[in-house]
């Protein structure tokens, strides 16, 4: 333990670390002191939240941590399986789920390119990512408004962060790397086939409506 670690532990006790986790994601870049305290107390945090039916997901390389409901398998006892969920599952609309998948794919491509660590996309970049997978509309402005609604939902979920821009600059967003924890590599490897199937269905639906 370094000389600085006792000061961290005095400032942040177990409750001061667990409560922010129960409220949402902890990012290293947002609060370095809280992050360091979590690293030092993570064994105690894991034991504590396990009692609540939760597990800690912590990625030191990417700099984020969050809680999720513990996975219950066949070997777990029946009582554990009946525990109420503290972390609620939120159903997502198809366009929002699609946008998350497309952003995850774009992040994977970005990482393969090396160089920068932050993926920043303009509003127009995101619109172009998803618009080809949405039903065509005669009202272009309405389509853009709907995509904007989906983007705002992804911001609300914490997978995009809107960056500050001047009044004459177009909106831009950082793709938060926590998205990697929710769309895994195996699912991503099947994405192209799923998107191709969806586009075929979309084309068929358009033809049927003509």
Do 20 and 101 sit in the same domain of this protein? no
**End position of a domain, from candidates 81, 104, 137:** 81
Q: Which helix (H) or strand (E) holds 172?
A: strand 172-175
Contact 184, 199 (CB under 8 A): no
Residue 169 phi/psi, 5° resolution?
A: -100, 145
Q: Of 104-118, 150-164, 192-206, which gets the smallest average pLDDT?
A: 192-206
Do 121 and 50 sit in the same domain of this protein? no
Rg (CA), the chain: 21
Contact 194, 136 (CB under 8 A): no
Residues 208 and 202: their CA atoms lie apart, in Å, by 10
Provide the residue range defining the domain that includes 21.
Answer: 4-81
Do 69 and 17 sit in the same domain of this protein? yes
Q: How confident is the model at residue 1 (pLDDT cuts 50, 70, 90)?
A: very low
Do 138 and 204 sit in the same domain of this protein? yes
Do 68 and 118 sit in the same domain of this protein? no
Q: For residue 80, what pLDDT is reported?
A: 46
Q: Does residue 113 or residue 104 have the better pLDDT?
A: 104
Nearest to 53 by CA among 67, 42, 37, 38: 67
The structure's pTM equals: 0.70
Q: In total, how many domains does the chain have?
A: 2
The tens digit of pLDDT for each residue in 29-54 reads 999 999 999 999 999 999 999 988 88
């Amino acid at each position: 333990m370094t000389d600085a670690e006792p000061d961290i532990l005095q400032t942040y006790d177990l409750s001061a670390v667990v409560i922010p986790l129960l409220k949402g994601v902890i990012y290293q870049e947002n609060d370095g002191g809280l992050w360091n305290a979590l690293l030092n107390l993570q064994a105690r945090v894991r034991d504590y939240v396990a009692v609540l039916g939760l597990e800690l997901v912590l990625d030191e390389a990417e700099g984020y941590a969050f809680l999720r409901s513990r996975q219950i398998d066949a070997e777990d006892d029946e009582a554990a399986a009946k525990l109420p969920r503290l972390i609620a599952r939120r159903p997502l609309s198809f366009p929002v789920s699609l946008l998350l998948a497309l952003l995850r794919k774009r992040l994977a491509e970005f990482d393969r390119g090396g160089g920068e660590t932050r993926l920043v996309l303009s509003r127009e970049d995101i619109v172009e990512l998803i618009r080809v997978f949405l039903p065509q509309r005669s009202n272009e402005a309405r389509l853009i408004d709907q995509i904007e609604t989906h983007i705002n939902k992804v911001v609300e979920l914490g997978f995009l962060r809107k960056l500050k821009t001047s009044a004459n600059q177009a909106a831009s967003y950082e793709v938060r790397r926590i998205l990697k924890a929710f769309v895994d590599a195996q699912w991503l490897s099947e994405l192209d086939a799923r998107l191709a199937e969806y586009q075929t269905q979309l084309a068929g639906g358009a033809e049927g409506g003509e």
